[in-house]
A and B are shown apart, each in its own frame.
Chain A
């Protein structure tokens, strides 16, 4: 006898078929099914769907895929590590999304400017940023101070840090948008400065 108003919730019937229905409800559901054709039909249709889904097989890769699996993984891990280090200047910018990245870019631009240089991005009053980073105190920022900062930051990075940052870059990949406002010359200058720092770190 089917009683629509008293039919069980689909999720309970799915759990029943899946074998995950709580023990204290099992007997009640079985008793209901004995007297409800609608729910029995539902259970049968769930079983039919799952029986067909069970025939959806995973294609087996060639044997060579498995025999070389670990070697390939380690080769890829090494290549990824090299690539990450090659992109370390992006990592530097990505270290702390937002202010720290902008601060580093600002510092680097300031570090490349002489006292007589004209206005432009990074040539404003960088003092709050410098103070925040513990580099204020003089009339300007020396290249050595910038180098020191970058080396401190980079030498603290482990492979795991780099992997996490890499994941961040992959997710949000627009870190370089932070320096979009720079002129081509300023970008070139920034890149050269970071390349120099990379040599120092190496």
Chain B
């Protein structure tokens, strides 16, 4: 077990402060990328650390501290999505938006307005990804976590984590391709 993990499990308040300093922003970003709602993400990030705080003595050191925290974060967010039924964008909405913007950015891919439109559409596409794919994509693409770490956080196999990433990337690729098609 790491030194920080040991101190955390011993109930050391200073260790908890270190954990907050080290991971709160990352956890907030992960929550936002999973639930896609700023206010909800702020609340969930705090909820994650409430759970870390109340369960810290049961941290057994079988995983790294960050893996343990990320697992709590992913479970908290997925439960919130399930329980609160945060609206997600349907595939029809995304396709409708794509159909309404043919060839956006096709003539000038780096044009500010067109690029903004494409980013907005990709943002919508990210909202539409199934929650598990979104979670994996967030941890891999934005946080550069190894697939083994992602698998541990998701409670799944490395192969399943990779497959979720591949599906997510392929879906985004298709959507961006649709936008660029003249």
Which A positions have Cβ atoms within 8 angstroms of B? 10-11, 14-15, 18, 20, 45-46, 48-50, 52-56, 58-59, 61, 65-66, 69-70, 72-74, 76-77, 80-81, 158-160, 163, 170-171
Asked, given contacts A14-B165, A45-B173, whether A61 binds B122 with beta carbons under 8 Å apart, the answer is no
| Chain A at the B interface: SS class | helix
B79 x A170 contact (CB < 8 A)? yes
Determine whether B29 belongs to the interface, using a CB cutoff of 8 Å to chain A: yes
Which B positions have Cβ atoms within 8 angstroms of A? 16-17, 20, 24-25, 28-29, 32-33, 38, 42, 46-47, 49-51, 53-55, 57-58, 79, 83, 115, 118-119, 122-123, 126, 140-141, 147, 162-163, 165-166, 169-170, 172-173, 175-177, 180
The residue of chain A having its C-beta at the shortest distance from the C-beta of B166 within the complex is: A11
CA gap between A159 and B55 in the complex, in Å? 8
Task: Tell me the minimal C-beta distance from B12 to chain A in angstroms.
Answer: 14
B177 x A45 contact (CB < 8 A)? yes
Asked, given contacts A53-B141, A159-B54, A171-B79, whether A58 binds B33 with beta carbons under 8 Å apart, the answer is yes
Contact among A11, A46, A65 with B42 in the assembled complex (CB-CB below 8 Å): A65
Query: Can you show 11 pairs from A to B with CB atoms below 8 A apart?
Result: A18-B169, A52-B118, A56-B122, A58-B28, A61-B42, A65-B42, A66-B25, A76-B46, A158-B57, A160-B58, A170-B79
Asked, given contacts A81-B54, A160-B58, A170-B83, whether A66 binds B24 with beta carbons under 8 Å apart, the answer is yes
CA gap between A53 and B147 in the complex, in Å? 19
CB neighbours of A80 from chain B (8 A): 50, 54
The residue of chain A having its C-beta at the shortest distance from the C-beta of B171 within the complex is: A49
Which of B20, B57, B169, B177 is packed against the most chain A CB atoms within 10 Å? B169
Contact among B54, B165, B177 with A163 in the assembled complex (CB-CB below 8 Å): B54
CB neighbours of B33 from chain A (8 A): 58
CA gap between A70 and B49 in the complex, in Å? 8
A69 x B46 contact (CB < 8 A)? yes
CA gap between A46 and B176 in the complex, in Å? 9
The residue of chain A having its C-beta at the shortest distance from the C-beta of B51 within the complex is: A163
The residue of chain A having its C-beta at the shortest distance from the C-beta of B180 within the complex is: A48
Contact among B32, B119, B122 with A58 in the assembled complex (CB-CB below 8 Å): B32
